A = this chain, B = another copy of it.
């Protein structure tokens, strides 16, 4: 018996019913060639700045992708065998790749599988279904492919047609790599930093005062007082903006906001620095500092993206062994209407642009769409993380569109560190746009020419406007 093949259907994710399929194809055809705008993600800037060559299939496709790793872990694989937290030699790498191939069936139906197939076939030309038997051949063919000069990050940015990509950076980062790229006349795509101040806003987190010390040093302001901290933050945001940033990114456990009066906030700040604030006071201060980022954003124009409601490092044994971001983060329930009230009541109709993402789907129709259907500053973030997957995305579209239409959404955010998956993710998004719009067409709710215009709007206009590009 011959080895099963691996193929990509031209019509993948599009509806089957003939009238819907015809409409979906026409809509998809109109956006598939458009450049990719990626306003938030985690690709390291150094990859592009130094145009580094990728070394092997495993470190490119497996080790950094905790979506892939976590499901292998659940199926009994040790993260160490996948390269997490250690260096791998050629044999290790080949073995890790074989583990993935042997578990291929465990990925059936998942979002990870969808992206992997798209990359294996579309980028690497693989034609055999992964399995223990085909693992080595596939490994070899990818290895050969990534050794080519046209597989360097900059060449791939051209091949993938990525017009804009944002990295994620510490407020104290010097952004030298970004400056270098911007100054490079031979490079004409845009790579922007993103201001990520989370840990500086968490007085209760370990090491907070060390961060303040670092912030003081970098900014030249005394960040150990509220006023100095505020000045430092404003200064670093300006520095990021000067280096091309279009947004800041935020991820706290809840969406709580509050505007404390200045003296109260200053007092809690001082007490937090001195280690004598209560947990409740530090939570209050964190919410105040977060809300103050919205105030700054309403002034300096950096769009705020907010990714809340994650219980980080749920598996503490794994966290102690491998550190953060290895796959044991899990979502928790979220509340937005009351939490965001202080912020929206003050800044909801200003120049602020605030994009809220959720992994608690219950918020789609109950809170997010109704809020974004009123407040000018609030945009609906697309499905993110575990729910950045075809069925989840369709649930999202069905839940928010009827209330808020297409003018209140952010457009696609890939939020990924898996560089080669970027075109697959944006293509998936465009296919799902087409499927959804085709459905509206065949149900008599919009005309086909409108659908084509909306598809373009979602890929180009909305991200351009929401991120001020």
Contact = CB atoms under 8 A, between A and B. Distances in A.
A97 interface: no
Interface in A358-405: 359-362, 365-367, 369-376, 386-387, 389-392, 395, 398-399, 401-405
Interface residues of A, number: 90
A446 B109 contact: yes
A252 interface: no
Given A106-B405, A110-B402, A349-B317, A374 B446 contact: no
A29 interface: no
Contact of A405 (B108, B348, B360): B108
B108 A446 contact: yes
B376 A74 contact: yes
A449 interface: yes
Contacts of A371: 314, 330
A447 interface: yes
A180 interface: no
Contacts of A450: 105, 108
Contacts of A468: none
Given A366-B333, A445-B114, A75 B407 contact: yes
Interface in A70-101: 70-71, 73-76
B108 A454 contact: yes
Contacts of A446: 108-109
A440 interface: yes
Contacts of A16: 17, 19-20, 442
Interface in A8-47: 8-9, 11-14, 16-17, 19-20
Contacts of A106: 405-407
Nearest to A377: B74
Interface in A303-322: 311, 314-317
Given A20-B16, A331-B366, A402 B389 contact: yes
A109 B360 contact: no
Contacts of A335: 332-333
A257 to B, nearest CB: 13
Given A113-B445, A405-B109, A444-B9, A370 B344 contact: no
Nearest to A8: B444
A376 B75 contact: yes
A337 interface: yes
A443 interface: yes
Interface string A331-346: 1110101100100110
Contacts of A408: 71, 74
Interface in A107-136: 107-111, 113-114, 129
A323 interface: no
Nearest to A70: B374
A454 B17 CA distance: 25
B109 A440 contact: yes
A161 interface: no
A74 B375 contact: yes
A335 to B, nearest CB: 7
A336 to B, nearest CB: 9
A317 B346 CA distance: 9
A332 B338 contact: yes
B454 A330 contact: no
Given A12-B444, A317-B349, A365 B387 contact: yes
A443 to B, nearest CB: 5
Contacts of A311: 337-338, 341
Contacts of A390: 402, 443, 445
A251 interface: no
B406 A109 contact: yes
Nearest to A387: B365
Contacts of A71: 373, 404-405, 407-408
Contacts of A457: 105
9 smallest CB-CB distances across A and B, nearest first, come from A12-B444, A9-B444, A389-B402, A106-B407, A391-B398, A109-B401, A330-B370, A16-B17, A110-B405
